[in-house]
Chains A and B, each alone.
Chain A
Amino acid sequence: VDYVRSVDYLMYGLICVVLAPPAAVFRTLQWDTDPSALQLQADSELGRRMHRLGASKIVQIDFVPKELVTYTKETQTPSAAHQSEEEEEDEESSELKASPQTDQPEEEGEAEDSKEAHPRELTEEEREQILHSEDFLVFFERSVSVVERALAEEGDIFFDYSGRDLEDKEGDMQGGSNLSFNRVFHDDHWSKHRVVTCLDWSPQYPELMVASYNSNEDAPHEPDGIALVWNMKFKKTTPEYTFHCQSSVMSVGQIVLWDNRSHRRTPVQRTPLSAAAHTHPVYCVNVVGTQNANNLITVSTDGKMCSWSLDMLSQPQESMELVYNKSKPVAVTGMAFPAGDVNNYVVGSEEGMVYSASRHGSKAGIAEMFEGHQGPVTGISCHNAVGTVDFSHLFITSSFDWTVKLWSIKHNKPLYSFEDNADYVYDVSWSPVHPALFASVDGMGRLDLWNLNNDTEVPTASVTIEGACALNRVRWASGGREVAVGDSEGRVWIYDVGELAVPHPEDWSHFARTLVEIRANRGDGEEEGAVELPA
């Protein structure tokens, strides 16, 4: 039948036959594609004329592929000057005077001595040149830092161990109190009138802590955002390192990376303000993974989660929109990963809901919703003390509704609600070593330590910080013995926690029993409609 144009199998197995009038009749030809056969045909049928057959020239069509240029590093840190280390050794042995100007000819004179046979006075221009050279500045900054430590420390700087001991003894002598004030970090120049937006302890050097601050309203021409690194070990009162940033840190939605190795104070890398990255304020930043293979995960208040490689901040490795039930995106205010997990995490939102989500897998994105808070969730923390019993399914949240709630990933209603506060609770944090201990801070300047094995109704230890208005952030040091608290005036308070922080082996099983009790009380009809979620 010539005019059946096409036969199609449509979706549900129906066969559709398209009939069309014969527009052009195409006769099927019997092709004998063997070239020698063609030649024979040509010879026999068209033998009248002699055809000289030849090959035509080859027609080539090329579309070149688009070259994708990828860089593993967007920026290069300048290599540190090695000679500064040698000069420094010379410096430490000699005594430094207060003004650098008078020092200068002396140092340079010594250096010159070693290089040249005869000493000579430097001319003014040479002096200026050296003063402004990068090598000198690098070296000078470094040695100023070292000398400041020496000046602030009482006693022998080479035996800071003894200094530390004294501090510890003092703590013990205060009658075994649970929360004792250690010190406050405050820099009149940099941190005054700035709110502490975030704190973190360095994983490599447990005495170092970085705090970020937002803009200083009183000084508009100062940089908007700064991060200061404080050193717990030495008594000096100035920060170790100061970093500047043009936009308020954690306000516009850019992620900036400062490199401690380069001696610049401005960010080494920053992410672009583009639609591919974040366009809303970034409230949560987390580095997940091991030291070698890690990713930076960031979430902004428009519900966008991006995963970055620290080498290349020009665009995210992957990005995902966090939406619940395919409706509007979640305005995320806090994010936490359970210990050891790099895929699943929990986020708190502005509406007061908490969601669990995963980065990869068939269910990538928001999974479950946890209802309970009546106000925006301000802080969220996953249990991360490792011990005999696994509590990694637990997390706690703090909110503007004056409560802290304890949850398990397995239930979408809270396990317990802690209602001892009388103001917005701004942050919570589990202890890294004790399974039943966590800290919370609120807007009245109160720092509470809750030990759930002790009491679940009231905090086990509590202190109202004198002279602080609202406490914004709380973070435990990695050893679990100190707590850093940031306030709205730019001060970072360090508190020693004492005996309360030390976990005992039976604390884990005790906490498991506490949890059973909590669940039993809850099951008495308090929370209705709680749904047991699949693991």
Chain B
Amino acid sequence: MLDCVVFLADCLVSVSQCIEVIIGGLDYNQNKVNQWTASIVEHSLTQLVKQGRPFKFIVNCAIMQKSGAGLHTANSCYWDTATDGSCTVRWENRTMYCVVSVFAVALTC
């Protein structure tokens, strides 16, 4: 299980790096935001898979424009709490919020 925790910490780091590379320093742009969410998800997933761990991954990315509205989400999972885990990365700049959630479900075989 410790393994899992360490692994998730790594996840966090690599995912936040991904986000920074893709939308760091940019302002919210409606034309491009779809490309951004797609590439964030793709790159994060590639990074995670590259680590070669026996996990199934689910990556979710949400980008919200800062317009004064509120956003509230929640999630929960029913799984093997010993071997499975999730992590969420929250990132923001002056014009938008970005939230990426990664769920890792252990592959048993």
**A interface residues (Cβ-Cβ under 8 A, vs B):** 24, 35, 46, 49, 51-66, 68
Task: Let me know if A52 and B80 touch, CB within 8 A.
Answer: yes
Residues of chain B lying within 8 A (CB to CB) of residue A65: 68-70
Cα-based distance from A53 to B77 in the complex (angstroms) = 10
**A52-B80, A52-B82, A55-B77 known; A64 vs B108 contact (CB < 8 Å):** no
Question: Please, which residues of chain A bring their CB within 8 A of the CB of B50?
Answer: none
Top 4 closest A-B pairs, CB basis? Answer: A65-B70, A66-B68, A56-B77, A63-B71
What 9 new A-B contacts, CB under 8 Å, besides A52-B80, A56-B81, A68-B68?
A53-B81, A54-B81, A56-B77, A56-B85, A60-B72, A61-B73, A62-B72, A63-B70, A66-B68
Q: Mark B4-20, 1 if CB is under 8 A from A, else 0.
A: 00000000000000000
Q: Does B75 touch A at the CB level, under 8 Å?
A: yes
B64 in the interface (beta carbon within 8 A): yes
Tell me the complex Cα distance, A62–B79, Å: 24
> How many A-B pairs with Cβ below 8 Å?
65
Q: State whether B86 touches A56 (Cβ < 8 A).
A: yes
Q: A65-B68, A68-B68 are in contact. Are A60 and B73 (CB under 8 A)?
A: yes
B46 to chain A, nearest CB (A): 8
User: Is the CB of B53 closer than 8 A to any CB of chain A?
Assistant: no
Asked if B78 and A60 sit within 8 Å, CB to CB, the answer is: no
Measured between beta carbons, the chain A residues less than 8 angstroms from B77 are 55-56
**How near does chain B come to A45, taking the closest CB pair, in angstroms?**
10
Cβ of A49 to closest chain B Cβ, rounded Å: 7
Chain B residues near A55 (CB-CB < 8 A): 76-78, 81
B-side interface mostly? strand
21 residue pairs of the A-B complex, CB under 8 angstroms, read A35-B78, A49-B108, A51-B80, A51-B108, A53-B78, A54-B78, A54-B80, A55-B76, A55-B81, A56-B81, A56-B84, A56-B85, A56-B86, A59-B76, A59-B101, A61-B71, A61-B99, A63-B64, A63-B72, A65-B68, A65-B70
Q: Which residues of A contact B74 (CB under 8 A)?
A: 58-61
Given the complex of chains A and B, what is the CA–CA distance between A58 and B75 in angstroms?
5
Which residues of the partner chain B approach A57 to less than 8 Å between Cβ atoms? 76
Contacts of B99 in A (CB 8 A): 61
Cβ of B37 < 8 Å from any Cβ of A? Answer: no
Which residues of A sit under 8 angstroms from B97, Cβ to Cβ?
A: 63
Give the distance in Å from the alpha carbon of A51 to the alpha carbon of B83 in the complex. 10
Least CB separation from B80: chain A residue: A51
Complex CA gap A454/B28 in Å reads 68
A53/B68 in contact, CB under 8 A: no
Q: Which residue of A lies closest to B84 (CB)?
A: A56
Docked complex Cα distance between A64 and B78 (Å): 28
Closest to B49 in A: A24
Q: Are A64 and B70 in contact (CB under 8 A)?
A: yes
A65–B68 CA distance with the chains assembled, in angstroms: 5
